Amino acid sequence: MSKSQDLTRRGFVAGASALGLAGGQAQAQAAFPSRPITLIVPFAAGGSTDIVARLVGQKMGELLGQSIVIDNRAGAGGNIGSTAVARAAPDGYTILMGTISTHALNPAILKTVTFDPVKDFTPISLLAIVPNVMVVHPSFPAKTVQEVLKVLKDNPGKYSYASSGVGTPLHLSGELFKSIGGVSMNHVPYRGAGPALNDVVSGAVPIMFDNLPSSAQFIRGGQLRAIGVTTKERVSSFPDLPTIAEGGLVGYETYTWNALFGPANMPRAVVDRLNAEANKALTDPHVKQRLNDVSAEIVGSTPEALGEHVKIEVAKWFPIAKASGAAIE
C-alpha cells in the first residue's frame, strides 16, 4: 500500500467515525425529550408565575410530545426552587420559571447567595412581561390612590399590606408606594402570591400589591377593589383602571416578568428545542387569549436576548433592592 493510499484510508476511517459520532449525537438530540420534564415554579400555586407556568407548560408539553410537570417549590423569595434548578443536571429535564425576583432581586437581598443569576443558568426564553396592581379588600375605606394615601396618612401604622415574600417585586412595589407617598404600612410577607391573595380576599389583610394575572378574576368578581396598575401605561384588560402614577404618585412604576431557564451548560440543541416550543406555545390562540386577558405582554425571545435582559435587570434593580433594606436568610 502506498503512502498516499494509506493516508486516504485513514482519512476515510476517521471521516466515517466522525460521521458515526455526529449521527449518534444527532439521534440523541432528536430524541429529546424522551421522558416528562419538570418545570419548577419557585413560588406557591395560585400566583401569577404559577398561572403562566401552567398555561405555557401545558402547551409546550403538547408540542414536545412529553408532559411538563409543574413542581411548586416555594420559599425564600423564590430562592429554594431556583437553587434546585441551578444544581440540577443540565440535560433539559429540569427547568425553571424564573422571574425578576429570582434573577434580579434575590442576588441583592440574599444573606447567603446560593447561585449566580447569570453564570449558573442557561437562558431559554423571556415569555412575558406582567403588570402589577394595587388591590384592597372591598371593606377598605378608599377607592382611589389619593383616598388610600389619605387613609394611610390619617392612620399611620394601622394598616398592613400583603406580598408574596420579602424582597419580591410585590414587596418592593409596596415599599416604593410608601416611599413616594410618604405613608406608613406594615408589611406582611407570605410564601407566595397565592396564600397572600387568599388572605386579602378574606379580609385578613386589607391591601396587596399583586401581579395582575392572579388578581384579575377577583377584581372582576368584586372580591377585590383595584386601585391602580403599577405600569407606566394603562392595561388593555382594564382600560378604565388608572395607573398609580396617574393617581398622584408621579414616577411610580413596577412590573415583573416570566422566563424559562435551565441549569448552566445545557446542550445547545436542547436549549434550541425548548426555546422553539416555548415561543411556539406563545402563538397558540388559547395561550395568547389567556395572557392578553390579564394584559401580560407576550415576548418570546431568543436565549441570547433573555441573557442580556437579565444583566440589564440586575443593574437596574440591585440599588433599589439594597435601598429597601430587605433581606432573605
pLDDT tens digit string along 223-246?
999 999 998 889 988 999 999 999
Query: What residues does each domain of the chain span?
Result: 34-129+256-324, 131-229
Q: Report which DSSP code applies to 242.
A: P
Highest mean pLDDT among 14-28, 33-47, 157-171: 33-47
| Res 19 pLDDT > 50 | no
Least confident of 23-27, 220-224, 269-273, 274-278: 23-27
Kindly tell me if the per-residue pLDDT of 118 is higher than 90: yes
pLDDT category, 326, cuts 50, 70, 90? Answer: confident
What CATH homologous superfamily does 131-229 map to? Periplasmic binding protein-like II (3.40.190.10)
Residue 190 sits at the vertex; the CA angle it makes with 188 and 194, to the nearest 5 degrees, is 125
* Confidence (pTM): 0.74
Closest CA to 171 of 234, 249, 230: 230
- pLDDT tens-digit profile of 201-220? 999 999 999 989 889 999 99
Q: What is the 3-state secondary structure (H, E, C) of 257-319?
A: EEEEEEECCCCHHHHHHHHHHHHHHCCCHHHHHHHHHCCCEECCCCHHHHHHHHHHHHHHHHH
pLDDT at residue 322 greater than cutoff 80:
no
Integer Cα distance of 99 and 133 in angstroms: 17
Total residue length of the chain: 329
- What is the grid cell recorded at 46? 395560585
Confidence class for position 30, pLDDT limits 50, 70, 90:
low
pLDDT of amino acid 93: 98
Do residues 284 and 302 lie in contact, with contact meaning Cβ atoms separated by under 8 Å?
Answer: no
Q: Is the model's pLDDT at 77 over the cut of 80?
A: no
- The C-alpha R_g of the chain, in whole angstroms, comes to 23
Asked if 34-129+256-324 and 131-229 have one fold, the answer is yes
Residue scoring higher pLDDT (68 or 172): 68
Per-residue confidence at 22, pLDDT binned at 50, 70, 90?
A: very low
Position 325 pLDDT exceeds 70: yes
CATH number of 34-129+256-324: 3.40.190.150
